[in-house]
Structure 1
Amino acid sequence: MTHQKYYLSKKLKLIAGVDEAGCGSLVGSVIAAAVILHPTQPIFGLADSKKLNNNKRLNLYKNIIQNSLDWSIGSSNAAEIDRFNILQARLLAMKRAVQNLSIKPDLILIDGNHAPKFIETPYQCFKKGDSKIPIISAASIIAKVTRDQDMVMLDIQYPKYGFAQNKGYPTAFHLNQLELYGPISHHRKSFAPIKHKIFHIKK
């Protein structure tokens, strides 16, 4: 089933796409986005945010912000990730994103195999939905750009770790800096490299 076919068969009901960014990072919050695009004003060029270059992603981000019917962000911070585990934190961020919408959708389309339970609104999961369903692609773009911006701000506070470049992911530089300086409060203490102090890359 595609985004476009659902619009045709359901007579332009309001559909929210939901996706997240930052699950594999060692630092910061997992960020989810919910987007309701205008059903008769499509945004062209939507794709999985990870497959877009930075300029294209930023241009689409601005287009989505300006022309969607509604969009919102939900997050789950490092402390919640450590407390609940990354899957539950991811679902919590998604649920918060939907709850933060000012327009109630008729259907929620979610990237991946797992979804939070929405009692009042039907929802469906789609494996690789961010590359197959435009409205989920839109959510993936909002989530990634928002999280990337968070990492740039964190880099200003803690410039030693290269967060603006590595976005908190376990690059060789990030792991080497962890070995030199140790983790900060924003690092996810339950993640293996932090929990087991695996800070160096094996050659």
Structure 2
Amino acid sequence: MTCPDDSLERAAMDRGFLRIAGVDEVGRGPLAGPVTAAAAVLDLTVIPDGLNDSKKLTARMRDTLTTTIRARAQIAIAHASVAEIDELNILRASHLAMMRAVGMLDPAPDFLLIDGHLLPRDLTIPALAVVKGDARSVSIAAASIMAKTARDAIMVDLAQQHPGYGWERNAGYPTKCHTLALQNLGVTPHHRRSFKPVHNILYQVKTITG
């Protein structure tokens, strides 16, 4: 398994930047729940072993790394709500969550490595968009792990409030269980109404009852 390294961070340091934050988000695809972002400033002298794209790690590996990352890095985690996702669209809401996470770092970073191919609008900090960054940069990988574990915990909590949708297992993604539950149990306040499967169910109900 190819793991990310610190070459992008070192390149930024060679340009004179001192505090480099990796930034990533989790939760673009789900039908329910917030989108969550994390920003991570690593101490490159004590990089945690096993850092990788959070999707390539087991839940147990992520949980172990979360503890290690917190002890060795400055971390900030932020969210954009379902209402903000529906109002802005998922890309802009993802960027909003990213910028909220970056804004929580104190002291502030002076350079950002951001996962993806687009940078957030109105960015005031020098930054580099890194496609598949969570597999290339240790800082982005750390951010992806922190965002993933934080959002999964939220969805487990929401699953207790709204049983039947399987959020404790699918984290709100459109699995067969979740889709069937939407049809049988209906739409909750935590569902993204701008997403087609949810919108279609709402529209069908409105058409039938209207």
Determine if the TM-score, normalized by the shorter chain, exceeds 0.5.
Answer: yes
**Aligned match of 2:182:** 178
CA distance in structure 1 between the partners assigned to 2:47 and 2:122 by the alignment: 26
Q: CA offset at residue 12 of structure 1?
A: 7.2
Q: CA offset at residue 40 of structure 1?
A: 2.0
- AA aligned to 1:126 is V
* Residues 71-107 of structure 1: CA deviation (Å, up to 9, x unaligned): 1012100001001110110110101010011121121
- AA aligned to 1:101 is L
Q: CA offset at residue 39 of structure 1?
A: 2.8
Q: Percent identity of the aligned residues?
A: 42
Q: Which runs of 4+ in 1 moved over 6 A?
A: none
Shift of the 77–9 alpha-carbon distance from structure 1 to 2, 3 Å rule, reads same
Q: Which residue among 103, 106, 111 is the counterpart of 1:107? A: 111
Q: CA offset at residue 5 of structure 1?
A: 3.4
Aligned pair 1:156/2:150, yes or no?
A: no
CA distance in structure 2 between the partners assigned to 1:120 and 1:112 by the alignment: 18
Q: CA offset at residue 116 of structure 1?
A: 1.4
2:9–2:20 CA contact under 8 A, matched in 1: no
* Residues 85-143 of structure 1: CA deviation (Å, up to 9, x unaligned): 10110110101010011121121000001121455420010000011111100000000
**Aligned match of 2:25:** 20
What TM-score results when the alignment is normalised by the length of structure 2? 0.89
Query: Would you say how many aligned residue pairs link Structure 1 and Structure 2?
Result: 197
What TM-score results when the alignment is normalised by the length of structure 1? 0.92
> What RMSD over aligned residues (CA atoms) do the two structures have, in Å?
1.7
Q: Which residue among 33, 37, 42 is the counterpart of 2:47? A: 42
Q: CA offset at residue 3 of structure 1?
A: 2.8
For structure 1, list consecutive stretches of 5 or more residues without a partner in the other structure: 199-203
1:14–1:39 CA contact under 8 A, matched in 2: no
Q: Which residue among 31, 34, 41 is the counterpart of 1:29? A: 34
2:111–2:126 CA contact under 8 A, matched in 1: yes
